[in-house]
């Protein structure tokens, strides 16, 4: 019996935390599906404007699509971290069955340090981190500052991504080929040159015989 009533069973605590984590994962998945539906609409708009020659409109929409994809990528990463925390909580259940008590978890701690910084789920994750701290699963977290990225670097990266998106959506009518494709073209060209040089050498050798 605790000071203010019955103390919650450790197993029940972990199970409740796991339910909240799974609920947040489902919410993130719903957001991903909604964003991807909107992306399809943006692609159709880009194609329509490309046919009309409205390059400025295509650029604006492509920037929106690049931003959307980055958000989705971050959300997938968030789900990976949630899953990591869930696995750590499952280990806690196994520990409780064997030892009868909760133990600290580095795996859960590392995942929660990232999850409390995700804007879409920040509020819930901060509350969960407090519950985990009280339960003894993780240590109290200290806010960390992230290194700032130079605006010029962001602009250059965004410009490259916009070109890739335009190339992809308009099937090469606008934008530039991705770097990987460009390198492949360069490799093919170099291979062709080598083959041509070898053929010329063979012809020259044949003349002298």
Q: Which residues contact 81 (CB under 8 A, 6 or more apart)?
A: 111, 114, 115
Same domain, 206 and 129: no
How large is the average pLDDT for residues 161-183? 67
Domain finish residue from 71, 105, 135? 135
For residue 106, count CB atoms less than 10 angstroms from its CB and return exposed for 0-12, middle for 13-18, buried for 19 or more. Answer: exposed
Tens of pLDDT, residue by residue over 45-64, are: 988 888 888 888 888 888 88
91 pLDDT higher than 90:
no
Q: List residues bridging with 5 in a β-sheet.
A: 2
For residue 2, count CB atoms less than 10 angstroms from its CB and return exposed for 0-12, middle for 13-18, buried for 19 or more. Answer: exposed
Tens of pLDDT, residue by residue over 120-161, are: 888 889 899 898 998 888 888 765 533 433 444 445 556 777
In the chain, how many domains are there? 2
Q: Is 125 within a domain?
A: yes
Q: Higher pLDDT residue, 141 or 85? A: 85
Annotate 50-73 with DSSP letters as a single string.
Answer: HHHT-HHHHHHHHHHHHHHHHHHH
For residue 112, count CB atoms less than 10 angstroms from its CB and return exposed for 0-12, middle for 13-18, buried for 19 or more. Answer: buried
Confidence of residue 97 (pLDDT cuts 50, 70, 90): confident
* Residue range(s) defining the domain that contains residue 101: 10-135
180 pLDDT higher than 50:
no
Nearest one of 39, 13, 25 to 134, comparing CA atoms: 13
């Amino acid at each position: 019996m605790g000071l203010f009533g019955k103390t919650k069973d450790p197993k029940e605590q972990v199970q409740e935390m796991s339910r909240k984590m799974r609920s947040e994962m489902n919410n993130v998945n719903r957001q991903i599906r909604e964003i991807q539906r909107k992306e399809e609409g943006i692609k159709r708009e880009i194609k329509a404007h490309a046919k009309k020659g409205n390059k400025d409109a295509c650029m604006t929409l492509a920037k929106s699509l690049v931003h959307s994809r980055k958000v989705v990528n971050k959300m997938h990463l968030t789900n990976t971290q949630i899953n990591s925390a869930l696995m750590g909580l499952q280990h806690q259940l196994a520990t409780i069955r064997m030892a009868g008590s909760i133990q600290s978890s580095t795996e859960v701690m590392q995942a929660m340090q990232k999850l409390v910084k995700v804007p879409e789920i920040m509020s819930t994750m901060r509350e969960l981190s407090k519950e985990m701290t009280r339960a003894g699963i993780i240590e109290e977290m200290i806010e960390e500052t992230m290194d700032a990225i130079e605006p010029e670097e962001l602009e250059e990266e965004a410009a490259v991504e916009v070109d890739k998106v335009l190339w992809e959506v308009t099937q090469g009518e606008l934008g530039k080929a991705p770097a990987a494709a460009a390198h492949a073209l360069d490799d093919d060209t170099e291979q062709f040159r080598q083959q041509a040089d070898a053929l010329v050498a063979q012809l020259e050798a044949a003349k002298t015989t």
